[in-house]
Structure 1
């Protein structure tokens, strides 16, 4: 399979979502409805079914998790220091630097990474993907809130944060699929067929909604900070993952390809939502979502060329 044959169908869905929204063929309210169907129903069912069918003995590999998360934490620290001593040379707050660090390290694994991985590697690696996704948001969001906790006069609640993570549709669906898989719970064929039908538009809807949402953002005046975060996210992070996985942890080629493609995904929009909640770096992360998504076409092409 060529790089173009992997990227073109995915990029086409993103562009379709962008153009139909840009030319107001679809309204923001209509996109919101599609997004609600995708992220609250179709994608959770898709994740549940794939975790239910995944071979558990190979899904939770500590070396694969380490190859992804150790570089992620290293890049998070790098982003924190860049924000503190380069972007804000007078020394920014922990909250501001933590949010920028999140923008350098948080991957859009569901909307972008998952379709690319399925197209490039097939569905046999899905168990490892979901094992990584399960802890992704919880780790990076918690770390960011810890750094911002000293200025939590806005009443941030760890209890509410924990609940929002545990009952997140993505985490909940993966956990339910894992549990049903572990106890070998039988699912009737008719119900399985219904769930499969619901899950089929998941990835197409995700890419369509991603493109549509891009039309609602713009690159802010502080584009240089957004560009720096995008470069760190799309080049430094996957490069570190590649080195860790291939030369330090000696993963096989399929496993290296998996973690590199996951880390090469652009910045996820949830990072912008965290920035808005903490009232730090909102314009930078909003712009970085757009820039990193556009630039990911080139970064994915580069990493696919290296890996395939």
Structure 2
């Protein structure tokens, strides 16, 4: 029992400390004045319009639909979808509600999940995690984009005070769908997925620059979170950030376990999915708040708070899940 606890604690430290360091480095860059407040928006555009599309296209260009494990995908995203929908019902259908909903179910699977699952569960666990990662952006980020666009349209329509006919609603939905597809998130996902089905390989002259841009996304996005922490009055949002962190770190994995159990998933796959759900809020949620200019301070604080809390919650969750490995 003691050795298992030591392995869990070490794995969590190995995966989470680099995230904390990069956020702290960004905070320091802001404090030293090396990155001005006026540059935050420009840095956000680089991350959202250049680095993120590069990662999404390159990741999806390697996904073969026929190789995906549909049961694990269905379990993971059913739980995420239920939590997202429940948050919208609770918070209201708005861009702020969408930002909170995304924060509740969007895990830091790359920077934290890959090293953590690799150390604790080995190659078998990584296979399950990579199945989720391969379609994580396709499902969550595309769906979130559509919800954000619909919320923007709804808020604009409410502000105009005009009558709501079925025709105007249809036009609003159609425009939101168009904006949701011709967008820096879904468009590279769709293009990459279509390219993957051709069976072709990206030429090295294209793939290598894309790989370099993709590798830069995680560190730059986390430093941007730290920079925003310095320039934002996030202390006022400690209560909201703690609430988001609690839902992300505790409610999300509990809901996933319930959904997985009902769907008949057992053993290693269920434990790995629950571990992924227990990860802190991913930095991509922050990019959405920057793009739509809503809930930036709150979500920025929630990323830092959930990452810090995860140092305690993840080892406890891993220990609680350990007996389930024997039931697979």
In the superposition, the TM-score normalised over structure 2's length comes to 0.70
* 2:133 aligned residue: 129
| Cross-structure match for 2:301 | 291
SS of the counterpart of 1:244?
helix
User: Could you say which residue in structure 1 is the equivalent of 2:223?
Assistant: 208
Gaps of 5+ in 2: 1-9, 119-125, 161-168, 320-328
Unaligned runs of 5+ in 1: 84-93, 277-281
Kindly provide the CA deviation profile for residues 128-173 of structure 1, in whole angstroms up to 9, marking residues without a partner as x.
3131321214434655747994983346943442233212323222
**Distance in 2 of aligned mates of 1:275 and 1:191:** 30
Equivalence map 1:276-287=2 (5 Å): 285-287=295-297
Q: Secondary structure of 2:234's match?
A: coil
Q: State the Cα distance separating 1:211 from its structure 2 match.
A: 1.8
Among 93, 100, 107, the alignment partner of 1:103 is 100
Which one of 198, 221, 228 corresponds to residue 213 of structure 2?
A: 198
Aligned length: 288
1:119 to 115, 120, 144: 115
CA distance in 2, matches of 1:19, 1:195: 29
State the distance in 2 between where 1:40 and 1:141 align. 14
Q: 1:261 aligns with which of 270, 273, 276?
A: 276
Q: Secondary structure at the match of 1:53?
A: coil
**Deviates further, 292-301 or 180-189:** 292-301
Q: Distance in 2 between matches of 1:134 and 1:206?
A: 19
**Structure 1 Cα separation of the partners of residues 209 and 24 of structure 2:** 30
Distance in structure 1 (CA, Å) of the matches to 2:153 and 2:241: 20
CA-atom RMSD in angstroms: 3.7
Q: CA deviation at 1:230?
A: 3.7
Cα contact 2:56–2:189 (8 A) shared by 1: yes
The separation in 2 between residues aligned to 1:78 and 1:217, in whole angstroms, is 28
Answer with 116-125 or 232-241: which moved more: 116-125
**Counterparts of 1:149-298 in structure 2 under 5 Å?**
149=154, 152-154=157-159, 157-219=172-234, 224-245=239-260, 248-250=263-265, 253-254=268-269, 256-258=271-273, 260-262=275-277, 264-266=279-281, 268-269=285-286, 272=289, 285-298=295-308
User: How far 1:271 sits from its partner (Å)?
Assistant: 5.9
Q: Counterpart of 2:158 in 1: which secondary structure?
A: coil
